[in-house]
């Protein structure tokens, strides 16, 4: 089982974005997580291609870009050009999911699919052999700082079982309400990557918090 942390820049200080990116660069985090919201698929607007381009200039970690937008297939090439290394789309937002995943990989990115809290793991059965990442939303997407939905543990275990049964090599990522109180249980349930925003950037020492999250429960 792998353990990794992807600090979410949604919780960073946008007046000091380069500083916060460099904090992550110095840390043991494996990725920088960027949430793209359009105000339609989720009830919030975040940032888009220009910000990703700016982040890419300073980041020394792969950019893990999560598209919470309608019709994401329209923008895949633009996000690749902006610097995305991993690109995740929502099952709920893609009419032709297999085609979208295929195009992401053809563009040279790792392809991820994400499930909202209400979406069953069974919706992944036909796509799981073709993806590199499954992102389980453990809050209703749109805003940072929400409370973790406890039924996510069951969903994670189901996802892990599906991956193993299908022979897929997909990693499991979880986003929403991740903190020191649940990090160890999440890793134990089968998660490979924890997305943490407020927990990291709201701490006094983000670099140490990333390390603490990664080592949660390790004796």
- In the chain, what are the domain boundaries? 4-214
Residue 9 CA to residue 7 CA, distance in Å, equals: 6
Average pLDDT, the chain: 95
Q: Catalytic residues, which ones?
A: 35, 175
Residue 188 CA to residue 168 CA, distance in Å, equals: 19
CA torsion angle for 136, 139, 141, 146 (degrees, to 10)?
-140
Cβ neighbours, 10 Å, residue 153: 20
- Domain 4-214 in CATH 3.10.20.600: no
Q: What confidence tens digit (pLDDT) does each residue in 73-131 have?
A: 999 999 999 999 999 999 999 999 999 999 999 999 999 999 999 999 999 999 999 99
Question: Mean pLDDT over residues 59-72, rounded?
Answer: 97
Nearest to 36 by CA among 5, 76, 94: 76
Q: What confidence tens digit (pLDDT) does each residue in 139-165 have?
A: 987 666 678 999 999 999 999 999 999
Q: In what order do the strands lie in the sheet with 110-115?
A: 4-7, 193-196, 171-175, 133-137, 110-115, 86-90, 63-68, 32-37
**SS3 call for 66:** strand
Nearest to 87 by CA among 60, 124, 55, 114: 114
């Amino acid at each position: 089982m792998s353990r990794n942390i992807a600090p979410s820049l949604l919780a960073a200080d946008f007046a000091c974005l380069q500083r916060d990116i460099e904090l992550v660069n110095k840390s043991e985090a494996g990725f920088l997580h960027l949430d793209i919201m359009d105000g339609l698929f989720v009830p919030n607007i975040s940032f888009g291609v220009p910000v990703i381009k700016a982040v890419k200039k300073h980041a020394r970690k792969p950019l893990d870009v999560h598209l919470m937008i309608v019709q994401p297939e329209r923008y895949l090439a633009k996000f690749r050009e902006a610097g995305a290394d991993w690109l995740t789309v929502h099952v709920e937002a893609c009419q032709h999911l297999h085609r979208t995943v295929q195009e992401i990989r053809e563009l040279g990115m790792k392809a991820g699919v994400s499930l909202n809290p209400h979406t069953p793991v069974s919706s992944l059965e036909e796509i799981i052999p073709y993806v590199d990442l499954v992102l389980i939303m453990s809050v209703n997407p749109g805003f940072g700082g929400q409370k973790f939905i406890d039924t996510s543990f069951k969903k994670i275990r189901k996802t892990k079982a599906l991956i193993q049964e299908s022979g897929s090599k997909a990693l499991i990522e979880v986003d929403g309400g991740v903190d020191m109180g649940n990090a160890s249980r999440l890793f134990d349930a089968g998660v490979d990557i924890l997305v943490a925003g407020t927990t990291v950037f709201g701490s006094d020492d983000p670099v140490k918090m990333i390390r603490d999250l990664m080592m949660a429960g390790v004796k």
